[in-house]
Amino acid sequence: MVTIDRRRVLELGAAAALAVAGGSRRALAADPVEVRVGFIPVTGAAQLFVLDGEGWAKDAGLNLKLTQFASGPNLIQAVASGGIDAYFAGVGPLIVARGKGIGVKVVAATAVEEIAVLANKALSEEAAKAGSVAEAFAAQAKALGRPVKVATQPKGSVPQTVLLYWVRKVAKIDEAHIEVVTLGIEETQQALLAGGVEAATIREPAITVTQQKNPDIKILAAGGQILANQPGTVFGLTEDFIAKQPAAVQTLVDLTLRATKLLKAEPRKAAPHVAAAIGKGLISVETIEQALVSPGSKFITDPDSIVAATGILQDFQVEIGAIDKAGDLGQLFDSSFYKKALASNQ
């Protein structure tokens, strides 16, 4: 099951990998392989919580060590230090990491169109009556006597990239009318609820939780309205782990595909595992189930299906200075394990 120990993040650099297991999946069961997994608390990583909570990973001979991070950029720092093998978070930080020479691969996608822009009552009402979102921001900035504050995650994260893409390419908001505030995932939601910001980019389950707590908070732009097939959470691995444990990698991708199918077919069965992992006893299983079936939870597994949209975001990351140049996405994405998993499930 999931255990969350933030202090462990400081110790990750010193953690050592276990001995290489045998090449077959039977060998995995006989000689458990430790996999140090970092994740962010969003439903886009639900496959991880399902395959762990259902006991599938343990039954397959995998010993998962799960650690929660506040954002993808924070998680990628642990990957770079050698303390994390597997990554369940946004694709953006992996693009940045790859550009800096860090050996990482995306072996599966887990969700698309997760990130939405939500706004408080005043901004939502202004957007409803204004001719455009840009006009609504201008009017609110004038009324406030300052730029409209919008919370998102740190530079290089998918939420930050998606927000700026929406501001510049879609809504075309005058940047004099907006102030971007970077926070952790949970802090972003809290800031919107507390009135510290007027809007925020958030994902499920935060969308459902936020609107339950304050129905006046509305979705200003849904994920697909910002960018069709918007890439979000992915399952990534270090090249070192892939080279040393290919059988374990294949098993993990097999189980990720299996978990995707369960999430789509039986969200009620999946909900307790997701709640245990990210609810921290503060979010009910019923709320998590609602989040799993919301428009903001679109579960997938095929990594190739998000390459084109990832290319759009990568080009935009170059434009905003998050990376120096666009990299070869063919080197970042490895769909071979997914294709084998798909073939074995047909």
pLDDT digits (tens, 9 = 90+) for 190-214: 999 999 999 999 999 999 999 999 9
What per-residue confidence (pLDDT) applies to 67? 97
Is 114 within 8 Å of 163 (Cβ atoms)? no
Kindly list the distances between the CA atom of residue 159 and the CA atoms of 73, 186, 212, in Å, as whole numbers in the listed order: 11, 13, 22
**What is the pLDDT at residue 30?**
62
CA dihedral (77, 78, 81, 82) positive or negative = negative
- The 3-state DSSP class for residue 157 equals coil
Digit-coded pLDDT (tens) for 117-144 = 999 999 999 999 998 999 999 999 999 9
Question: For the structural domain made of 8-113+230-344, what CATH number should be given?
Answer: 3.40.190.10
Containing 119, the helix (H) or strand (E) segment is strand 116-119
pLDDT digits (tens, 9 = 90+) for 72-95: 999 999 999 999 999 999 999 999
Instruction: Assess whether the region 8-113+230-344 and the region 116-226 belong to the same CATH fold.
Output: yes
CATH class of 116-226: alpha beta
Partners of residue 178 on adjacent β-strands: 148
CB 151 within 8 A of CB 210: no
The structure's pTM equals 0.88
Q: Domain spans of the chain?
A: 8-113+230-344, 116-226
Whether 10 has a pLDDT exceeding 60, the answer reads: no
Q: In this structure, are residues 251 and 25 in contact, taking their beta carbons and an 8 Å threshold?
A: yes
- Predicted pLDDT at 279: 87
